[in-house]
């Protein structure tokens, strides 16, 4: 038995998220089905991140165990012939001894795209959150800087999360204007449930003047989710990259 690691890109529009469920097709389900068609064996595929319905990924990392003799680097080509065009395996390789896509994760980078114009974009309908009010990008950039570092992100967490601690470390939070879009890039060691979407909704609240410029500091202080911005809709979010430790970490978050 050997362990194979996959880098997977997907358009989440037509899926009920990453994780298997009864009511909707999922990315995990499509990958497991493709692997079954390829190898003839039902095999569990584990993803580093359980992205929600409508959320996209450029660099989801997954792993699975197999007895198949297919060379590791050929799995990408072989699986893609069994997958719909909105899911593509970008790379496949032999995983290190004991590698686990979730437990070995050392960090993740997400992007969140806001389309900031009078009317929504047809071409970015499933890739962005339409905000028609003018956004003050400099206010957003200043508030974003408050997020960087190690903080208690309890106020940035949807109810229903199961994390033992709500302390997380963000290494980078950037806000950039690219054509008609405002793009938020967030990189950190780990994320609470809906954390990036609450960050995006809160920064937009600062940018359109609905929320005070020090709202991030207030949220850290009060741990009160209710004073922050809305949870931005899923379609603006992309899991850009997952980072991994070189060996099994001594701790698991």
Residue from 4, 5, 11, 54 touching its own copies (CB under 8 A): that is 11
Spell 1-21 as b/e; 16+ CB within 10 A means b.
eebbbbbbbbbbebbbbbeee
Q: How far apart are CA 155 and CA 201, in angstroms?
A: 13
Task: Note whether 176 binds its own copies by CB under 8 A.
Answer: no
Exposed (0-12), middle (13-18) or buried (19+): which is 89, by Cβ within 10 Å?
A: buried
- The residue among 36 and 132 lying less far from its own copies, judged by its C-beta, is 132
Does residue 178 interact with its own copies by CB under 8 A? no
Beta carbon nearer to its own copies, 124 or 200: 124
Tell the smallest beta-carbon distance from residue 119 to its own copies (Å).
5
The only residue of 21, 46, 80, 218 in contact with its own copies, by rule CB under 8 A: 80
Q: How far is the CB of 91 from its own copies (least distance, A)?
A: 8
Transcribe 105-116 into DSSP letters.
EEEEEEEEEEE-
Assess 122 for contact with its own copies (CB under 8 A): yes
- Contact flag: residue 63 with its own copies (CB under 8 A): no
> Measured between alpha carbons, how far is 179 from 118 in angstroms, rounded to an integer?
14
Q: Does the footprint of its own copies cover residue 239 (CB under 8 A)?
A: no
Q: Is residue 183 classed exposed, middle or buried when 0-12, 13-18 and 19+ CB atoms within 10 A define those classes? A: middle
Any contact of residue 14 with its own copies (CB under 8 A)? no
What is the bridge-based pairing of β-strands 87-94 and 56-66? unpaired
Q: Let me know if 52 is a catalytic residue.
A: yes
How many residues of this chain interact with its own copies, rule: CB under 8 A?
26
For residues 14 and 21, which CB has a smaller minimum distance to its own copies in the complex?
A: 14
Contact present, 92 and 4 (Cβ < 8 Å): yes
Catalytic residues: 52
Note the residues at the interface with its own copies (CB under 8 A).
Answer: 9-11, 56, 58, 76-77, 80, 85-91, 117-123, 125-127, 238
């Amino acid at each position: 038995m050997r362990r194979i690691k996959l880098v997977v890109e997907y358009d989440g529009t037509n899926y009920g998220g990453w994780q298997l469920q009864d009511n909707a097709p999922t990315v995990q389900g499509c990958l497991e089905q493709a692997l079954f068609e390829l190898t003839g064996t039902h095999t569990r595929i584990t993803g580093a991140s359980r992205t929600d319905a409508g959320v996209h990924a450029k660099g989801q990392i997954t792993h699975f165990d197999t007895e198949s003799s297919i060379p590791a680097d050929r799995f990408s080509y072989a699986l893609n012939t069994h997958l719909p065009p909105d899911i593509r395996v970008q790379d496949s390789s032999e995983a290190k001894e004991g590698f686990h896509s979730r437990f070995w994760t050392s960090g993740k980078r997400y992007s969140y795209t806001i389309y900031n114009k009078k009317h929504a974009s047809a071409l970015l309908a499933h890739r962005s959150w339409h905000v028609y009010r003018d956004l003050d990008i400099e206010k957003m950039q200043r508030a974003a800087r408050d997020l960087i570092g190690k903080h208690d992100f309890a106020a940035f967490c949807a109810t229903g999360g199961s994390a033992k601690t709500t302390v997380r470390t963000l290494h980078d939070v950037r806000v950039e204007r690219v054509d008609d879009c405002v793009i938020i890039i967030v990189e950190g060691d780990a994320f609470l449930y809906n954390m990036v979407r609450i960050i995006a909704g809160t920064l937009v609240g600062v940018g359109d003047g609905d929320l005070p410029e020090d709202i991030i500091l207030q949220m850290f202080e009060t741990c009160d989710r209710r004073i922050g911005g809305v949870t931005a809709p899923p379609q603006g979010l992309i899991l850009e990259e997952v980072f991994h430790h070189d060996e099994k970490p001594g701790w698991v978050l």
